[in-house]
Structure 1
């Protein structure tokens, strides 16, 4: 298919958008809170997986999955939490984004639960030894931490996870039919002119 010019028939104003999708119920608007209350804290502490969205000063976006043991993310108080940055592949895309744009979004999941917890706030890259030493995993503290000043928390309905059947093991495809991550990785390297060394 040829490249499409999406701007030809684009929605460009909120007024036009509202004419199509309508307006949300008052309950939906007012479910946001600006603090980590008891329920949000418990949700975070039970979540072993979350997604972190960030963008740089130019607006280029990134979403990164983060997995840790439940309660790996430390809630300091009702306005702040800290995300451990464990050793990885050293790309640190999210952290580089935060250096120029501190606004981030977090999406916490609990396996088997359809609802997700959304948190928005401002991030600071921290190296405070007292905080980092309290987040030790397998005998090692994280190299850095992402301190988050929370601005918004709210629960999100289960529709997406229900419709996708993400937690329904009977709906999962056969592993033999899944795309090979190694093949995708190698294809990307070759696309970028990297010659693979055969062993």
Structure 2
């Protein structure tokens, strides 16, 4: 299939974008705050899932889901929070990006709630034992934490989650129709020239 040249019919300037979409309402602009107020703190404390968006120095982006017990993200003060970096597959995509570009975006999700909390700021990998000890899980203390200096917080409207019906089990696909993570994993290995033998 021939690749499509997106640039042939693209929006390339801020002026063109605004002419097409229009300007946001004043309230949409002013809902953004630069501190973790009591409402943000409460939301974060009840969220067991967040998405961490990073990019490297060249602007190549990555988004990583971070699932944990609600309350695992530590709020230090009105301007700083820390995300525990639990053991994983050691790719370290997010952390390597943070080392070259500190700008991060976070989305916090609470099951059953259709609004999400968005936070933007600057991150740093920390080894502060006093903080890390507070994030122990089942006796295991994380080796690293992702400390975030918060620059912007705001609640995002419910439309995406509402329209997706994400919290309505009756709309979910049946388990047997869902993509198999194992099949995807093996297929992608094969594309890269690695084929694992199936166990007999």
User: How many residues are paired up?
Assistant: 199
Instruction: For residue 143 of structure 1, report the CA deviation from its aligned partner.
Output: 1.2
Task: Look up the match of 2:83.
Answer: 83
For normalisation by structure 2, the TM-score amounts to 0.98
> Residue 144 of structure 2 corresponds to which residue in structure 1?
144
In 1: Cα distance, 2:41 partner to 2:55 partner: 26
- Over the aligned positions, Cα root-mean-square deviation in angstroms equals 0.7
Partner of 1:97: 97
Residue in 2 that maps onto 1:29: 29
- CA 1:36/1:62 → structure 2, altered by over 3 Å: closer, same or farther? same
Q: C-alpha distance in 2, partners of 1:197/1:104?
A: 40
| Aligned-partner SS, 2:77 | coil
Task: Give the C-alpha shift of residue 195 in structure 1.
Answer: 2.5
Under a length normalisation based on structure 1, what TM-score does the superposition of the two structures give?
A: 0.99
1:197 is displaced (CA, Å) by 3.1
Q: Is the 8 Å Cα contact of residues 53 and 105 (structure 2) preserved in structure 1?
A: yes
Deviations 1:57-89 (A, max 9, x none): 000000000000000100000000000001111
**Alignment partner, residue 60 of structure 2:** 60
Q: Corresponding residue for 1:154?
A: 154
Structure 1: runs of 5+ lacking an equivalent: none
1:198 Cα deviation after fit: 3.2
Which consecutive segments of 4 or more residues in structure 1 shift more than 4 A?
Answer: none
- Residue 38 of structure 1 corresponds to 38
Q: Which residue of 2 aligns with 1:135?
A: 135
Deviation at 1:183, TM superposition (A): 0.4
Check conservation: 2:112, 2:167, Cα contact below 8 A.
yes
2: CA distance between counterparts of 1:196 and 1:135? Answer: 37
> How far apart, CA to CA, are the structure 2 residues paired with 1:69 and 1:115?
19
Q: Does the Cα contact within 8 Å between 2:186 and 2:195 map onto a contact in 1?
A: no
Corresponding residue for 1:119?
Answer: 119
In structure 2, runs of 5+ residues without a counterpart are: none
Following the alignment from structure 1 to structure 2, what is the Cα–Cα distance between the partners of residues 100 and 10? 30
